[in-house]
Structure 1
Amino acid sequence: MAEDLKAPPQRSSFQWLAIAIAGTLRDYPTQTPGTILQRLMELRAQARHFMLPPRRERHYPRVVKPRSDTYPRKKNASQLN
Structure 2
Amino acid sequence: MAEDEQMTRQQYRQRHGQTVPVDDDNDQTSEPTPSRQAYAAQTNQELEEAKTKRLARKLNWVIFGLVLAIIIVFLILFFT
Same fold (TM over 0.5): no
Looking at secondary structure, tell me which structure has more helix per residue: 2
Q: Give 1 or 2 for the bigger CA radius of gyration.
A: 2
Please report the TM-score for the alignment, with normalisation by the length of structure 2.
0.25
Higher relative contact order (CA 8 A, sep 6+): 1
Please report the TM-score for the alignment, with normalisation by the length of structure 1.
0.24
